[in-house]
Structure 1
Amino acid sequence: MEEGEGFLEVLEALRDAARRVETGEGNGPALQALLALEAGADDLLSGDYPNLSALRRLLSRLRALSCSADDPYPPQRGVVVAGALRERCRRCAARRGLARVAGAVAVEIQAWVDRETVARLVAALRRPGGAGAGAARALLARLEARLLSAAGRFDPRLQRALLRHGVFPAVEARLGDPDPGGVGDGCAAAVLALVRFNKDVFVGPVLMGPGVGALVASAAGSPAPLRALNGLVAAIRSPLVDELHARGDLPRLVAPLCAPDPRVRALALEFALRVGYYGRREVVDALLAEGLVKRLLCLQRSDLGGSLADTDSNSGADEKPDAECGGRLPESESERPFVSAVARFAVQVEVGEGLSQREKRQTKLEILRRVREAAVSPAEEATVLTEVLWGATP
């Protein structure tokens, strides 16, 4: 793994050197590094000839242009000023050509990095047992960063590398890996990055394959699967929500609202809000039937909850917090992520895309009924009912 990482880091350093030359760095260390690569091309670039042939040609052109740009003024005879101007124009043109070729070299080296990263990642993921876990974690992080940087400007060569090596099936097969913070979490982030990179190609496999089920199954144990599910719902919207409902997975995603890890609870709340926005009537009804309102009230009673109307005071100080919802988020997380959770869900349903106006009114009445049933005191009932009734009114 260390040797492989070192090789990729060298390639990335050469790519960065080419970009520095492209931006105008002259005959400095960056250009010398590229010329050294060209000098050793017979040994360094012979292993993958079809893919690296263009890089070899560009490096040869780079050397020729660098020599032309750095040639000293030749002795002038006759019209000295005119000859000097022509020579200066020639050298300026050579420098501009050098920058263009260096940019093309950077593109070729990036494609080389992509091919190596993808091939090494798939090999690491397919190793039996946990032999490739360390390599896979590092390569998954590298791939995720690359896909995120490429989002919004499609790279066909990266797409070909992903499909040729079968990255999505390899990543999907390791979703839900039981090692906390390990390969499974990295695969969850990689699936989301693949969908964001190219929805047209990867949304279909997400909806039809077992990956979503694996994310749901591991949602309560780690923040990463829920973070990926939230991102997937934001990217795919109603089709994914409908698929989760058809598979019967939505009830399993209500349970993490009372998970021991407060980060998981915060992500589960975010998921419920997204589903409330995109879900159809039967989807929202399924959430409510699973006790969603009761769990949201539980979150509001915790020391991370409260109401929007009284965010500066200790809401519910006279009530005993539910033991299921105890615990605090790390300092880096939001201080009170569960404030007015019920009203926020009601707002998402009311402004969402999945329900008609009539269904929204009926669902709001159902939420109010369940609040009355689940409230532990008249004060809590009055506060939450007021928020639900007026929280979505402009």
Structure 2
Amino acid sequence: MEEERHTNNNHNPKPNPEILQALEALKRASKEVEVIATTSDDGGCSSPSMRALLELETGSDDLFSGDPLLSPLRHLLSELRSLSSSLPSTPPNKSIGTSFLNSIFRRPKSPHHAMVSRVAGSISAEIQSWIDRETLHRLVSALGSQFSDEERATLLLALETRASEGFDRGFQDTLLKSGAFSVVESALAEPGCAKVVRDRCAALIYALVRFNKDVFVGPVLMGSTIDSLVTIASPATLQALNGLIAAIKSPLIDELHSRGELQRLVSLLSSPDLEVQIRALEFALAIGYFGRKEAVEAMLAQGLIKRLLCLQRSELGGALIEMDSWDFPKEIGRNSDHGIHVGRLLKPKQGKSKQMRFLEARPFASAVARFAVQVEVGEGLRQREKRAIKQDILKRVKEAATSPVEAANVFAEVLWGSTP
């Protein structure tokens, strides 16, 4: 029956935002009834939200008859109507004095009030399932047809938001039946797909891994997602990759190493795009923390320390030891997520630690020492491996430094701190 319904829907696959907007409005109405049913004298029967749900029930025979998946919602709406009919209505001309007395001598609510609240909550869940099915079906249709990039990006963002709400078995079942993951992964790998769509695909895949790692880590490791994220190498896809590393840890790093992707990612530290450089640094720090010996050594062999030193010498570099004597400059231009705009310093956002604000404005400060700290406190290496890697870092600092003074300063940071 599900396949038959999808076949019927494919006659008109064009996404219709009005349908989803109407369903969202009905879900909000059911949630409102769920709350006010236990707090109002009439169980919320006189509220606009209740009237909206009862109007939906009135047309349910025609609206729901062709879809067996909507049968539970139809029965719940019918039950809600029966319950609302059994509750007393609030007199429209009740006086202020009567309301005041009722607030003092309030009678306990009947069991019907709790039943209305329970049914309204179940209606909300069924409407959410309906929204999930519609959104997933429209997304699969949109990514496989000629739809605008804005429509595709909107649907991808809607699913990302839904997945970020936390685990829901019903949503997971609907998601798996829809085949949406493979469609999203294919769109991510499609060079002709718009950048905004591919970026949203990357964010959605990361959200799905956070939604349920047991289900989605396997497809990520075995499919084309990893290669696509590295190949695109936009700030958004690199952010998704860094998030996946934090979620999956060593298995993903091992996969990147086996595919030879670490060299390409290290080279991004020299990208002309500032945001890409920042994401590449975050990637290097994550590998230092989670990576095994082979992965960390592979990055060092690709000139990681030399590139980190170059970043430290840049306008956005320096050393964390400068933080106490550094005055935040006046804001220039518009804010960005990192307090940076076209390589110039901005006034970082308030409410954060001074160190965090310093690193937002000077993201490459003490880059080598920060990497060394991640290696030392991380979970990917044995203690003797950490000591060996630290010695290798110092050796490479000495080789890459432009002067003995620079080498001595970095040595001091690596050996004695001044890092997060």
TM-score of the pair, normalised by structure 1: 0.86
| Structure 1 segments of 4+ aligned residues over 3 angstroms from their partners | 88-91, 176-181, 328-333
1:216-253 Cα shifts (integer Å, max 9, x gaps) = 1111xx21110110110011011000111011111111
8 A contact 2:370–2:419 mirrored in 1: no
Matched residue, 2:72: 54
**Partners of 1:174 and 1:226 in 2: how far apart?**
17
Tell me whether 1:206 sits opposite 2:220 in the alignment: yes
Candidates 184, 190, 204, aligned match of 2:198: 184
Matched residue, 1:92: 110
**Partners of 1:69 and 1:260 in 2: how far apart?**
68
1:62-112 Cα shifts (integer Å, max 9, x gaps) = 011111113589xxxxxxxxxxxxxx9897222221111000000000000
- What SS class does the counterpart of residue 241 from structure 2 fall into? helix
- Residue 23 of structure 1 deviates from its aligned partner by 0.5
Code of the aligned partner of 2:282? E
Flag the 1:46–1:313 CA change in 2: closer, same or farther, 3 A: same
Matched residue, 1:83: none
Flag the 1:393–1:267 CA change in 2: closer, same or farther, 3 A: closer
Q: Taking every aligned residue pair, what percent have the same amino acid on both sides?
A: 56
8 A contact 1:263–1:329 mirrored in 2: no
Code of the aligned partner of 1:196? R
Tell me whether 1:135 sits opposite 2:151 in the alignment: yes
Structure-to-structure mapping, 1:85-164, within 5 angstroms: 92-127=110-145, 131-149=147-165, 151=166, 154-164=167-177
8 A contact 1:274–1:348 mirrored in 2: yes
Matched residue, 1:242: 254
**Partners of 1:166 and 1:224 in 2: how far apart?**
24
Matched residue, 1:343: 369
8 A contact 1:69–1:91 mirrored in 2: no
Tell me whether 1:290 sits opposite 2:302 in the alignment: yes
- Residue 327 of structure 1 deviates from its aligned partner by 2.6
8 A contact 1:294–1:374 mirrored in 2: yes
Tell me whether 1:357 sits opposite 2:375 in the alignment: no
- Residue 378 of structure 1 deviates from its aligned partner by 2.5
- Residue 181 of structure 1 deviates from its aligned partner by 4.4
- Residue 339 of structure 1 deviates from its aligned partner by 1.1
Flag the 1:110–1:176 CA change in 2: closer, same or farther, 3 A: same
Matched residue, 1:5: 17
- Residue 332 of structure 1 deviates from its aligned partner by 7.0
Matched residue, 1:35: 54
**Partners of 2:15 and 2:228 in 1: how far apart?**
32
**Partners of 1:301 and 1:10 in 2: how far apart?**
55
Tell me whether 1:70 sits opposite 2:67 in the alignment: no
Flag the 1:352–1:173 CA change in 2: closer, same or farther, 3 A: same
Flag the 1:330–1:174 CA change in 2: closer, same or farther, 3 A: farther
Tell me whether 1:305 sits opposite 2:305 in the alignment: no
Code of the aligned partner of 2:150? G
Flag the 1:294–1:393 CA change in 2: closer, same or farther, 3 A: closer
* Number of positions where the alignment pairs a residue of Structure 1 with one of Structure 2: 362
Code of the aligned partner of 1:238? S
Code of the aligned partner of 1:146? R
- Residue 3 of structure 1 deviates from its aligned partner by 6.0
**Partners of 2:390 and 2:418 in 1: how far apart?**
11
Code of the aligned partner of 2:281? L
Which runs of no fewer than 5 residues in structure 1 stay unpaired? 74-87, 315-325
**Partners of 1:283 and 1:101 in 2: how far apart?**
54
Structure-to-structure mapping, 1:17-32, within 5 angstroms: 17-24=29-36, 26=44, 27-32=46-51
Code of the aligned partner of 2:163? L
- Residue 311 of structure 1 deviates from its aligned partner by 2.6
Flag the 1:248–1:72 CA change in 2: closer, same or farther, 3 A: closer
- What SS class does the counterpart of residue 339 from structure 1 fall into? coil
